[in-house]
Structure formats: structure tokens, C-alpha cells
């Protein structure tokens, strides 16, 4: 799966949220300052070329929808982060984030309990 630029990822976040929409709806959700219509339209076409977005005709325009699930992209991005910065070790990544965020053992235990509960 290809990596997305920051702008592409921002548009994908909106598409994952709205599920199916036109360019104007994407712009409505994006933060200020709003990008130009042509800019967002170009990004959406790039996302289509990369295989992240599909479209269907609606009147004279198009409705766009994600072809890649957010969870799949997130998983791939996390794996790339772990491989690139933590030599493939999730343990090293968790340790790093615990230290950087001054996380206590009780907070880590709460995270582990959440994970265990999600598996049930």
C-alpha cells in the first residue's frame, strides 16, 4: 500500500468519516483556511490513481468513497513507523511513548486491560 502525503491523508480522513461525498462536502469538513475546490479535486483524483478512492456519477458530478479501510491504512502506517524507527520492535515503541509521555504503570495497565476487553 502506498503512503499518503499529509494533504492526501487529510482528505482521506474526511472520506472515512463521511463514507461517500462530493468535493464540496469534503471542503466543508476541512479546517480553515479552506483549500480551493480545484486543489481538493486534484487530491481526490490523485487518491483515485493510488487506489484509495473510487467514485460514482451523481448528476453532472461525482460522489467519492474510500476503497481502503481506515484500519488497514492505520495498521500499515504503524508497521512502517515501528520498522523505520524502532527496528521492528513494538516493545521499543511502547517504551519510547511511555517515557516521552510520562505514562505511569497504572496507565499502561489500563491500556492493557482495554486491549484484553477488546479481544473478548
Q: Please, what are the domains in the chain?
A: 6-66 (1.10.10.10), 86-119 (no CATH)
- Give the pLDDT confidence of 85-99 residue by residue, as tens digits: 999 998 999 889 889
Contact 22, 56 (CB under 8 A): no
- Give the pLDDT confidence of 12-43 residue by residue, as tens digits: 999 999 999 999 999 999 999 999 999 999 99
- Give the pLDDT confidence of 48-83 residue by residue, as tens digits: 999 999 999 999 999 999 999 999 999 999 999 999
CA-based R_g, the chain, Å: 18
Nearest alpha carbon to residue 7 among 46, 62, 51, 54: 46
Q: What gap in Å lies between CA 76 and CA 48, rounded to an integer?
A: 19
Amino acid at each position: 500500500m502506498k503512503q499518503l502525503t499529509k494533504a492526501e491523508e487529510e482528505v482521506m480522513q474526511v472520506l472515512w468519516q463521511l463514507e461517500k461525498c462530493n468535493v464540496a462536502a469534503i471542503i466543508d469538513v476541512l479546517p480553515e483556511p479552506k483549500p480551493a475546490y480545484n486543489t481538493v479535486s486534484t487530491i481526490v483524483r490523485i487518491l483515485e490513481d493510488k487506489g484509495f478512492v473510487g467514485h460514482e456519477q451523481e448528476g453532472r458530478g461525482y460522489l467519492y468513497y474510500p476503497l481502503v479501510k481506515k484500519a488497514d491504512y492505520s495498521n500499515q502506517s504503524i508497521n512502517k513507523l515501528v520498522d523505520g524507527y524502532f527496528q521492528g520492535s513494538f516493545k521499543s515503541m511502547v517504551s519510547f511513548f511511555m517515557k516521552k509521555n510520562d505514562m505511569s504503570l497504572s496507565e499502561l495497565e489500563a491500556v492493557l486491560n482495554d486491549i484484553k476487553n477488546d479481544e473478548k
